[in-house]
Amino acid sequence: MTYELYYWSGIQGRGEFVRLALEDAGADYVDVSRGPKGDEAFMAFLENRDLEQPPFAPPFLRDGDVVIAQTAAILLYLGGRHGLAPQDERKRLWVHQIQLTIADLVTETHDTHHPLGANLYYEEQKPEALRRAKHFREERIPKYLDWFERILAGNPEGDAYLVGKSASYADLSLFQVVEGLFYAFPKTMKAALVSAPRVIALRHTISERPRIRSYLGSSRRIKFNERGIFRRYVELDR
């Protein structure tokens, strides 16, 4: 069965966490909005009033007659099916908890350029963005990186992965969030990552996984840009 991923065609955004899992799993999938219909494809879906389980927002994944929205829920679904989550229930829940915390970090990252809401352009909320980004750079990024580093250091099965001895969807997502923060806040991240050697190592490990490396070098990987979640505005990285 071919999975159908529905997400904005022009950005990595939250969809990228799902794309990385699908790519790493070598799963058969179509990124629907990047086909001929473009973003209309998921718009029509969202407006369909007859769905029993309507998605609130993209990304969402269709697997036959199952439609799942919410990035973390999609990954929970895919993880068990493609060896990207531990078998053990307790570890599986722990991976999910880490993923939910990564989701919080993603939301906070978005809020650095959109503190007043997604209905206004960045240029309409720039003074507010400057204030919010300062706190994010000085307090939040270090706090999150310290937490990830602690988890890696405390993993009883070795510090190569967040949970257990092999990569889970949370490792792929941590790779992505570090990539994104590096794009958006290069100066801040360069300084902050000095205290997080295991996070740096994980980022490298994931980037070298054969399917991920091949994906990152392909045209399927959309480049970071200033319409997504991770945006490079130099004034926010002072």
Residues contributing to the site for a second copy (CB under 8 A): 49-54, 56, 66, 68-70, 72-73, 76-77, 90, 93-94, 96-97, 100-101, 104, 107, 111, 115-117, 119, 128, 131-132, 135-136, 139, 144, 147, 150-151, 154-156
Give the residue among 176, 179, 167, 169 at the shortest CA–CA distance from 16: 176
Q: Which is nearer to a second copy, 195 or 214 (CB)?
A: 195
Tell me the closest approach of the beta carbon of residue 55 to a second copy, in angstroms: 8
Distances (CA, A) of 57 to 147, 217, 232: 29, 29, 25
Tell me the closest approach of the beta carbon of residue 233 to a second copy, in angstroms: 16
Q: Which is nearer to a second copy, 161 or 224 (CB)?
A: 161
Asked if residues 115 and 133 have their Cβ atoms less than 8 Å apart, the reply is no
Tell me the closest approach of the beta carbon of residue 14 to a second copy, in angstroms: 11
Give the residue among 228, 170, 224, 222 at the shortest CA–CA distance from 199: 170
Q: Which is nearer to a second copy, 93 or 191 (CB)?
A: 93
Q: Which is nearer to a second copy, 120 or 204 (CB)?
A: 120
Q: Which is nearer to a second copy, 36 or 156 (CB)?
A: 156
Tell me the closest approach of the beta carbon of residue 116 to a second copy, in angstroms: 5
Q: Which is nearer to a second copy, 114 or 231 (CB)?
A: 114
Q: Which residue has the tokens 């990124």?
A: 31
Tell me the closest approach of the beta carbon of residue 204 to a second copy, in angstroms: 24
Tell me the closest approach of the beta carbon of residue 1 to a second copy, in angstroms: 15
